[in-house]
Amino acid sequence: MTIQGTEGLQRGYIVPIGGAEEKLKKPIILQKFAELCGGKNARLAIIPTASKLKETGQNYIDIFRDIGVDHCVGLPIEERADSEREDYLRELKEANGIFITGGNQLRLSTIMGGTSVAQMIRRRNADGVHFAGTSAGAAFVPEHMIAGGKNSPTPREGGVTFAPGLGLTNRIVVDQHFRQRDRLGRLLSAVAYNPFVSGIGIDENTAAFIDPDGMLEVIGTGSITVVDPSELSHSSMGSKSRGTPINLTNLRLHLLSAGAKYDINTRQVFLD
């Protein structure tokens, strides 16, 4: 199923990155994103809102310029009023690539949620502009955002907390720094709450390049863990007391490395 934007335009790629992506020696993920946006002719807008470090936005500007992108601008949205600035909205309207950095995803939802900037990002992606987010920026991608939860291999009642996400897709829920921070339990808990979505757990220095037809390709040195609940026959999430392990039966689990693909609409896997 191809997702159409306004005036019949094909939407842009959606690229959640698991965090800690290589930035200097072989920045294959950032380089691929830059090339997707036009390479030297790309116009990138960097949003460092999730980070409290003042240098985060400029660091990514420098990285993309080293890769070869001539036009790269930072939008330091630090409070909700910044999300209504006309100059920032103009930059987003002219960009062909939008990148959100890592940090704390709750800063993204509380500062940008429901604002003109969030609306503009959704509209621009629907009209063909490519979007990438790393770490917190990756978590912010879907309609339902994982806001927190205990790192654990075991799914539990109350094992994950949600907040509204950016809403670029409602087909997946995303977790990041996945194997490095032992987050299988909270991703399984997230899927148990909403078995409509596929759970996408992305390792560090790994990204999911999701094309306009919903085909996800794994890029990077780690793996993506896909939790497919389409055949789920039982979840005890609604009957367990808080903090206790839950039962989940007939889940499908895929571990996918570079080059493997997963269709988020049909839930089929394709290996290279």
Of these residues, 51, 83, 135, 223, which one is catalytic? Answer: 135
Residue 146: both structure tokens together: 């994982």
Count of alpha carbons within 13 Å of 264, Cβ hemisphere only?
26
Phi, psi values for residue 19, rounded to 5°: 95, 165
Q: Is residue 235 flagged as an active site residue? A: no
Q: Is residue 204 flagged as an active site residue? A: yes
Q: Is residue 135 flagged as an active site residue? A: yes
Query: Residue type for 91, please?
Result: E
**Separation CA 12–CA 128 (nearest Å):** 4
Residues 6+ apart with CB under 8 A from 30: 21, 22, 23, 63, 64, 67
Of these residues, 204, 217, 223, 235, which one is catalytic? Answer: 204
Of these residues, 177, 189, 198, 235, which one is catalytic? Answer: 177
**Separation CA 109–CA 39 (nearest Å):** 30
Burial of 2 (0-12, 13-18, 19+ CB in 10 A): exposed
The set of catalytic residues is: 135, 177, 204
